[in-house]
Structure 1
Amino acid sequence: MTDKGLQIDADNDCVYVDGIEITDSIIVDYLESFDDVEEQSNAFARALRVGVATMDLAETSRQEQFVERKFSTMQRDLQEEIDRIEEDVNAKFGEDGHVAQVFRDHLGQDGNLNQHIEDAFSEDGIFAKRLDDELGEDGERIQDALDPSIEGTPTYRLQQTLQDEIRSLRDKLEEQAAAEEAEDEIRQKTTLKGDDFEDTVENILSDLVYNTQDEVEYTGDSIGEIANRKVGDFVVTLASTGQRIVVEAKSDSGYSQRKIKEELSAAVENRDADYGIIVFECESYIPDKVGYFHEFDSERLSIALCETEEDEIEPGFLRIAHNWAQTRAVQGYVDSGTAFDPEAVQNAVGEVSTSIDRFSTIRKKTTSIRNTANDIDSELEDIEGEVKSKLTDIRTEISTVE
């Protein structure tokens, strides 16, 4: 091939061939097999591309062969280094190596360490002798030290501590049980059908207004007309006149007559009531001169529902007191100038008072004369009937005025 003109335009990916003469018979025969010039030109271009691609492939193959040769050389060198290291490891750590020999010398059957262990821990060794010195032969000393029956040993002290704790706990439990039993006993003495005394009073008052238009309201947890005072546990409102009867329940002792009057006055004022009743659980809580039933100034009444803490509560006293308070309240409701017979009212009230005195006297007898309790209770019912009858007469007399 004669090169008479070859230009390459790399920017436009073009090759210009001008006046090139090819004298290769293989190429001539190949191109001559095509019919026209255009096919021959296309075949020439294809042949040229194939030739270039073949040359590139040959170059790549040559480079791969070079890499393979280099890799084979490196692999051979690496294997030689591994073999050398393996020989060194076997020389040091193999069965006949240096390290194995050191272990045999020191840890083998006849080694130094084995001999030291034998000397220290054998039956006649140093350790066995030291244990015998410290713990005694066959551990006698440690057995004694752990024997809880020998005074002064740690286990003896622990046993004593546990026993003391158990005794203390038992005493506390017994004291707690005794306190709970005493509290329960006191609670039983101060309740009616298991209720607290205030609940007892409320139950009785609720029974009294049952099937009537009168109302009972618990006020013991609210402040009344007096600043920061909650005195006055219940208020009974009379439907017929709108009047209010305050009831204060007490289940503790230490009240003098003066203190009772002050408590009643405060309750009446605090609840804006027309009449006041203070109800003590036991007569033994209050002075003898006050007793079961005592009225102050025709506006305040003190009553007790039993004699001592050992006695059962008698609801009849509160029923009588309630009727009495109603009568007094209604009596005060009528103007002093209206036409009614005050003498008849006073006589009826006097008879009620006499009946109440009889009631109190007989009730005291029931505490000491249990054998005649049925007869006494029957008479009490008769007296209560008389009281109700007299109160009815009073209401009738007052109603004629209205």
Structure 2
Amino acid sequence: MANTLDQMEANLANGDLPFQLTLELTVSDPDTIRELAKYDEGEPRDEFALEALKIGVLTLRRASASIDSEFIKHETNRLLENLQKQFQSHAESSKQRIEDSLGKYFNPQDGHFTQRVKQLASADGEVGRMIRSLVDGNDSHLAKTMLTHIGETSPLMKHLSPDQSQGLLAVLHTKVESQLASQREKILKEFSLDNPEGALCRLVSEVTGKHGDFTRDMKGKIDEVVKEFSLNDENSSLSRLVKKVNTAQETITQEFSLDNDQSSLRKMQTHLETILGAHIKSAADFQEEVKVALGKLITKRETEARSTLHGGTFEDAVLEFVSRDGHPRGETVEGTGSCVGRIKNCKVGDVVVELGCDSAAAGAKIVIEAKEDASYTIAKSREEIEQARKNRDAQLGIFIFSQRTAPAHCDSFRRYGSDLLVVWDAEDPTTDANLKAALEVARALCIRARQATEKKVDFTTIDKAILDIEKRVQNLDEIRKSTETIRNANEKIFDRVRIDGEALDKQLGILKECLGDLKENLGSEIPSKPLLTPGK
């Protein structure tokens, strides 16, 4: 046996499936037994069990492989948009910082460097003002020095004054005065800007020439620096930097472009589309298989609903339930819906239960009338169950409404003297308590009636118990509806949380792998720090 299982597992691992597989199952679940018992033993029951097993397997496979494609698509698009915005914002801010820093110092109009050169080299600059303060005007240092040594109040003029002597001094005074006048004129010419051959004019020309050379050299150097930061020159430093930035940006854009078949984003999209395509195909196949299976079941039920056997199906379910409940007690349960009773040509009374010998009311009969017919009202049902008691010579009667066709505002359990009205659904196990309670109350009433004929007994306790049972059954019906709603909601919530959690973990793992590969591919292209720090 172990070798057979090992061989089967090896075949499944290699993709080799056996042609058929034999299963021997023991079913203990009441709901499953109830559904299987509706079909005859043999091929009908086996066919229904195979269809149910197939639907369950497909549902489990679908649940384990489900994925919320819309959620993954939305998160992927949002991630790509955020990345693109961040890269674009970084490129624009880097370009702006470089332009602002260079323009602050080298702008020809208002740059710090240009302003400083103008302040030094202009006609009214610091150098020009300093020269004029030394040689220009009567208050200049040069004029004051000359006046001190050869002026009218100087010691030399005092010794050579004509008032001190006559003759030679006068002649000398005259000659010196003429010589001084001549020298004064020469000196004035040397320091006059109107004389192009004068010393001052030559000094100014030389200073101006030197200043011009300095200005031209400085201008040339500034032009070279500006040229290095000009975008019009392809070989400038700024142009090369912009090219590198654009190349890196284009590389990043290509990696996140869906138009590039070799981009990481396109590869991730292709991978996700492959996964989603497989899931969509799997979902479509699953839906088609479920539709076929459900179509068969729906067709079968619709056929039963349209046929004259619809009511008979409900009566058969009632007979089966009552038989399972009564046989362990030793009771005789007989379907009498097709037999004429004590009344001539009257077949009213679908099931007759005769209490067994172990009961205190052995031989007492309970008649049951089952109807899945919307035309039956409570009054009509009471008339029919009373007729059924007479026709079947029964002490108690139970009229069973189908939950699908029960009258509006009809209680799940109600007693009217010797008759009981109850609502039951063959496909809803939670309503089984209603029918079981009706059978127990009917047996108790049979015992009460039997003992009442033999001796006087206080039946107060029995009456209270029956009333309490009636009340409890109605409460159970309300609790059943609320519990069913809560249970369905909890199951859906837990299943949804589990499925979505597993799918989300799986897709996040795939997304992390793709982003990891993308980061490795782009790691050498993206600079780890700014190329130029503002202010430096």
Q: TM-score range by the shorter chain?
A: 0.3 to 0.5
Q: Under a length normalisation based on structure 2, what TM-score does the superposition of the two structures give?
A: 0.32
Higher relative contact order by CA 8 Å / sep ≥ 6: 1 or 2? 2
Bigger-Rg structure (1/2): 1
